[in-house]
Amino acid sequence: MPAEIEVFDLPFLRAQFPALDQEINGHPLVYLDNAATAQKPWKVLDAVAQFYERDNANVHRGIHELSRRATEEFEDARARIASFMNASEPAEIIWTRGTTEAINLVAGTWALDNVGEGDEILISTMEHHSNIVPWQLVAERTGAKVRYIEMDDQGRLLLDQLSDVLGERTKIVSLAHISNALGTVNPIAEITRRVHDVGALMMIDGAQAGPHRPVDVQELGCDFYAISGHKMCGPTGIGVLWARRELLEEMSPYQGGGEMIRIVERDGSTWAEVPHKFEAGTPNIAGAVGMAAAADFLEEVGFDEIAEHERTVVRYAVEQLSQVPGLRIYGPDSLDERSGVISFTLGDAHPHDISTILDSEGVAVRAGHHCAQLVMRHFGVAATARASFYLYNTTDEVDRLVEALDTVRGIFGA
């Protein structure tokens, strides 16, 4: 154990997360699958429970007291997330099921309306499938072409080749702020400037950034930014698309249904105001309330403190893992260029076998392609094991991971 700088009261923090306090296969749980989804603190669990226990009703249009309360909490949550992302106003926050739906919304509305035959959509080989497939669907329907920014051997975008793939045919660029498969942190503000120089729009997949760092959409200067509630300690099934109001105003609706209309007539309808135009049907009200509580929670802990703590744990993890014989870490060498994701392989032990063995010692990691098959192909592997860290992880847990990897080496003779 290194001398750890206590940036915050870890035992107290961990006690906020009931799911962390359990044994798995006879060992205290070490939860290192945070890039897939984070555990939930009491603050979020209580907010969701209280909504259902006291205030549950459908939102908008209702006259009765519960409906008023539900609407107020739902719209307060929108305002809370607007300030969380530093949007200019709450109306720029569109509730979605998560990052996936947010990207599909932009692909299915703005892109289908504005991208045509011969146009180009630029993404990268680092992307999560949810930031690849929606664009391929647009390309299929419009005759546009999906182009890729490639990566180097450390899993960093080859930005010196950006001008080869970014040009006047490019209509939209969509990139991960942080890679879920490698942990690479992309210089997204700089890329956004270059994208705007050619007159294209910039969408950022913030699924892995929102949980770890303050997102300031105005400072980034992008056009669309997506986050998922569940990766930032909030509930599943809720997320956000942020876009500038002017864009939202001119965009076509996403799905049709209740809530998103102004007047419905036999021959057509008119749309509700932004943001409701994009929110057909009964929304995930409790989810929104829970996501707002998660934003409160993270800001109360403090993003600076979270970042400092995560850096300590990740630095220690990289040091320790680098000493495990046969272990290879993928992604950037420099800690400044990576977040809390460590993707690795160990000798000829398949990542699934690694994960099963770690699980038998209570250590939860993910194994597979991490919804990033192009990343796996880039590194010539079918799968990796991935340990991903969050604010409640400790250096002791890193030790537990390394010990469990010894068991893997024992079995596989690596």
Given candidates 9, 18, 25, 219, which one binds other proteins under the rule CB under 8 A? 25
Q: Provide, rounded to whole angstroms, the least separation between the CB of residue 39 and ligand PLP.
A: 15
Q: Under the rule (CB under 6 A), what is the footprint of ligand PLP?
A: 35, 98-100, 128, 130-131, 176, 180, 205, 207-208, 228, 239, 371
Residue 142 CA to residue 111 CA, distance in Å, equals 9
Angle at 311 between CA 307 and CA 312, to 5 degrees: 120
**Which of the choices other proteins, ligand PLP, none does residue 352 contact, using the CB cut-off of 5 to 8 A by kind?**
other proteins
For position 22 contacting other proteins by CB under 8 A, the verdict is no
For position 26 contacting other proteins by CB under 8 A, the verdict is yes
Given candidates 111, 376, 401, 405, which one binds other proteins under the rule CB under 8 A? 376
Q: Provide, rounded to whole angstroms, the least separation between the CB of residue 246 and ligand PLP.
A: 25
**Which of the choices ligand PLP, other proteins, none does residue 340 contact, using the CB cut-off of 5 to 8 A by kind?**
none
Nearest C-alpha neighbor of 16 from the set 313, 333, 296: 296
For position 264 contacting other proteins by CB under 8 A, the verdict is no
**DSSP-assigned letter for residue 54:** I
Q: How many C-beta atoms surround the C-beta of residue 10 within 10 A?
A: 18
Nearest C-alpha neighbor of 148 from the set 378, 309, 345: 378
Joined tokens for residue 396: 């002791």
Given candidates 280, 350, 379, 396, which one binds other proteins under the rule CB under 8 A? 350
What is the DSSP code string of 186-252?
P-HHHHHHHHHHTT-EEEEE-TTTTTTS---HHHHT-SEEEEESGGGTS-TT-EEEEE-HHHHHHSP
Q: Provide, rounded to whole angstroms, the least separation between the CB of residue 92 and other proteins.
A: 36
Q: Is 381 exposed, middle or buried (0-12, 13-18, 19+ CB in 10 A)?
A: middle
Nearest C-alpha neighbor of 224 from the set 299, 142, 135: 135
Please pick, among 371, 381, 402, 414, the residue that the annotation labels catalytic: 371
Taking CB under 8 A as the rule, which mask of x and - marks residues 377-396 in contact with other proteins?
-----xx-------------
**Which of the choices other proteins, ligand PLP, none does residue 368 contact, using the CB cut-off of 5 to 8 A by kind?**
other proteins
Q: Which is nearer to other proteins, 134 or 290 (CB)?
A: 134
Interface region with other proteins, contact rule CB under 8 A, candidates 43-51, 218-226, 274-282, 359-367: 359-367
**Which of the choices ligand PLP, other proteins, none does residue 350 contact, using the CB cut-off of 5 to 8 A by kind?**
other proteins
Residue 172 CA to residue 177 CA, distance in Å, equals 15
Q: Are 110 and 262 in contact, with CB atoms under 8 Å apart?
A: no
Q: Provide, rounded to whole angstroms, the least separation between the CB of residue 192 and ligand PLP.
A: 17
Q: Provide, rounded to whole angstroms, the least separation between the CB of residue 244 and ligand PLP.
A: 21
Residue 156 CA to residue 286 CA, distance in Å, equals 38
Residue 79 CA to residue 155 CA, distance in Å, equals 36
Angle at 284 between CA 283 and CA 289, to 5 degrees: 120
Given candidates 367, 374, 387, 398, which one binds other proteins under the rule CB under 8 A? 367
CA distances 147 to 144, 164, 282, Å, are: 10, 10, 37
**Which of the choices other proteins, ligand PLP, none does residue 187 contact, using the CB cut-off of 5 to 8 A by kind?**
none
**Which of the choices ligand PLP, other proteins, none does residue 361 contact, using the CB cut-off of 5 to 8 A by kind?**
other proteins
For position 132 contacting other proteins by CB under 8 A, the verdict is no
371 assigned to active site: yes
Q: Provide, rounded to whole angstroms, the least separation between the CB of residue 370 and other proteins.
A: 10
Nearest C-alpha neighbor of 410 from the set 343, 335, 358: 358
Residue 102 CA to residue 22 CA, distance in Å, equals 34
Q: Which is nearer to ligand PLP, 131 or 284 (CB)?
A: 131
User: What is the binding site for other proteins (CB under 8 A)?
Assistant: 25-27, 348-353, 356-357, 360-361, 367-369, 373, 376, 382-383, 407, 411-413
The catalytic residues are 371
